Every structure is written in structure tokens, then in C-alpha cells.
Copies of this chain bind each other. A is one copy, B any other.
Amino acid sequence: MKYTPKSEIYTRIDCFKKKLTEADMDGSIILLNSDIFYFTGTVQNSFLYIPTIGEPVLMVKRGLQRALEESPLKNIVSIKNIKQIPEILHEFGYTVTNKIGMELDVVPFNTYKTYKKIFLQTEFYDISNLIKEIRAVKSPYEIELLHNAIHVIDEAFLSVPSFLKEGMSEVELASLFEAEMRKGGYSGSCRMRAFNQEFFYGNVCTGESGFYPSFFDGPVGGAGVSLSHPQGAGWKKIKRDEVIYIDYTCIVEGYSGDQTRIFCMGELTPKMVKAFEDAVLIQSEIVKAMKPGISAEEPYFMALKLAEKMGYKDNFMGYKENQVKFLGHGIGLELDEWPVLTKGFKMPIVSGMTFAMEPKFVFPEGAIGIENSFVMTENGPQRMSTNSDVITYVK
């Protein structure tokens, strides 16, 4: 297990403090696990206060021993009840009375109300976008962790031919693929920031399953094994000569890679092979065109134009009414980080930003395409996987 270096943590905090100053805040309360991990290096049942000026204070309700061991923060103290927050902060010389930030994109209304009662004179402001901006640009340390995650999923993809068998169910294939990543260090729940979005590991869709829609905001749905979680691998048996689409996250040390690869037992139709090659072509054209500073919506528009020119108007990123309007998304501690490669998202993609790009096509006979995780460098996007962008044929 990796301990986040002290310099890393304090650089992040300094960056956030600068943004708090610009936003005229006195400080911010941080509650969400992914943000707590980012700014402290530990995930406990805790409350973090980052003042605009001065040392942060991590107040731990459960897990103090681990917080002290895992986090390089100077001020880590025990707390029994959140009502004590003002008094503890006061002991550290902080009077929380004015403008305080809070992750109002995720903090439930009732939780907000509890804090309003504790901090009677405080106005809380949403600072979630400030955090998203900071987190969008990864440090070399974070990029190394992402590389590790992608290595684990690369290995899992290479192992597929050893267990893929005709007649097995999608969910059985999923179980074996997931087990490969899990024993490689898959950390746990896939974190998504958006309310009510859930993602469990990934997606195995075979043949017409790839055409089956889902509520999830992605190009490919899948039936799922239950109507309660209607997405991804289902009960369908895998047949010869059909497309086997495997799109998975791989979360290692908290950082999530996101990759898609295609398999087939037997042969695919020329139409599907051509579609795969076209998806790879779109990927390489986009990579060539993406220079640091490009607006995040540009790659989507370029890919859309290319796809339409190739004749995939009804198939690009979903089929007809189920098409989604993006080409990729930021990756890191959450699966829905910035930048989003979508219409209207004009953030420039600068060096250090990491994202998954997934040109895909959906047909009634299945979903096909490619997805790779990239990091933007001075020379353009660097592909993080060491596996090739090819269809793997299994006997």
C-alpha cells in the first residue's frame, strides 16, 4: 500500500487555499471520501477543515489510529460529535463565522442543515468546482498510480483467453475477469461524484447484449443480472462468432483506469471488423489532433464528424435514441472527473490531465470499439496501456 507523500498532500492543499483566497472564502469543510483522501492521504470517518490561511485540521470520529499512521497532516485530532467542530477549530485559532466552502454537489440537504445549526453565523458556499479543477490536473505521482492501475487491467485482458469458454454466461466471464483485477489490487467501490450514478466494476456485453440500453450515461448498456442493477453483464450465454465487449474500470490505490477491449471466439463479420478498425482510426486521428490547451469539447465534435463521414451517424456512442453526447471523461479518484469530452465542456485540456477516450459503435448485433486511458503531455495525449488496440481472437 502506498502512503501519499507529504509534499504531494501539501501541494494539493496549497493549490486549494489559493483558490479559496480567489473565491474570498475563509476556509472549507471537506467531507467526501474521495476529497478527504486527496487532501489527507487517509479515509476515515472524519471531518477536514482547510483554512485559507494556516494548517488544516483533520477531526477523526472513527479511525484515529489509522489517520495518524497514514496521513502526513500535522493536525489530526479525535472528535466524538460534529457539534464539537467549532470548539476544536477554535482551539487551533480558527473562528468559523463567515464564508465557508462545502462540497454542496454531494453533501445531502439534511447534512447541510446540521452544519447550518452548528455554524449559526456561517454562510456555506459550493466549492466542489474548485476541487474538481484542482483534481483534474494530476501530479507525476498520481500519473504513476494510474499507470499501475492500467497495468493491472492490461494483465487481466491478457488473461481472458485462458478462461473464456463458449456457453459460459456473461456474468461468469465477468466474475473471472473481475477476480483477476481484484487479486491484482482492485481497491473497492468505484466512486462517482454525480448523485445516484452507480458503477460496479464494468461491463461485459456479448452480441446483441451490447444493443440493450441502460440508464447509465455511457454508449453501451447491457442487461445486468437483476432489474435492481440493470447494467453490464447479464445471464446471456456467450456464443461463437459474436462480439465480446469488455469495458472495465480498474481502481488501484484509489485511482481508476478505464479500458475497453474486444474479444471473439471464432470470426467477426467484415462489418464489425471494419467498425473496430474505424474506432481505432478515430482514436488515432483525435490523438494526433489533440494538443495541450485544446477545449475539451473539440475531440467530441471531431470524432462525431469523422464517425458521420464514415457512415456511423446512427451508431456512434450508442444506437439512435440511446446515443450519448460525449467521447470520454476524466479519470482519477472518481470515474466522472473533469475534463469531460463533451459538447459544451470548454475547459482546456492541459498537461497532466488524465482521461479515458472511447470511440464506440453500437449495432443491433452488438457493441464494438476501443477505449484507452490517456494523460495529456506537452506533446499531446500519451496512451497509458501497453496492450495493443486489436481484437483478440480466442479459439
A positions within 8 Å CB-CB of B: 1-4, 31-33, 37, 41-46, 62-63, 65-66, 70, 102, 104-112, 126, 128, 169, 171-172, 174-176, 178-180, 182-183, 185-191, 195-196, 198-200, 213-217, 223-232, 234-235, 251-255, 322, 333
Contact = CB atoms under 8 A, between A and B. Distances in A.
A229 B256 CA distance: 12
B183 A41 contact: no
B213 A65 contact: yes
A62 B188 contact: no
B186 A225 contact: yes
A15 to B, nearest CB: 20
Contacts of A189: 189-190, 198-200, 229
10 contacts: A2-B227, A41-B227, A63-B214, A105-B109, A108-B109, A176-B179, A188-B224, A188-B228, A189-B190, A229-B254
Contacts of A179: 175-176, 178-179
Given A44-B230, A107-B195, A187-B224, 7 more contacts: A1-B235, A62-B217, A105-B109, A108-B108, A178-B179, A187-B228, A228-B251
Residue among A215, A217, A223 with max Cβ neighbours from chain B (10 Å): A215
Contacts of A251: 226, 228-229
Nearest to A191: B198
Nearest to A254: B228
Contact of A253 (B174, B183, B227): B227
A229 B171 contact: no
A308 to B, nearest CB: 22
B195 A171 contact: no
B200 A226 contact: no
Contacts of A4: 227
A46 B126 CA distance: 25
A65 B322 CA distance: 10
A376 B312 CA distance: 56
A43 B228 contact: yes
Contacts of A109: 102, 104-105, 107-109, 112, 126
Contacts of A174: 182
B213 A227 contact: no
A140 to B, nearest CB: 18
Contacts of A41: 227
Nearest 8 Cβ contacts at the A-B interface: A228-B254, A188-B229, A188-B200, A175-B182, A63-B215, A187-B226, A175-B179, A187-B229
Which one of A70, A102, A189, A228 has the highest number of Cβ atoms from chain B below 10 Å of its Cβ? A228
A387 to B, nearest CB: 21
Contacts of A37: 227-228
A215 B43 contact: yes
A111 B105 CA distance: 7
A269 B112 CA distance: 49
B178 A227 contact: no
A180 B198 CA distance: 22
A215 B44 contact: yes
Contacts of A223: 1
Contacts of A1: 223-227, 234-235
A62 B221 CA distance: 11
A253 B224 CA distance: 10
A191 B226 CA distance: 14
Nearest to A173: B183
Contacts of A224: 1, 187-188
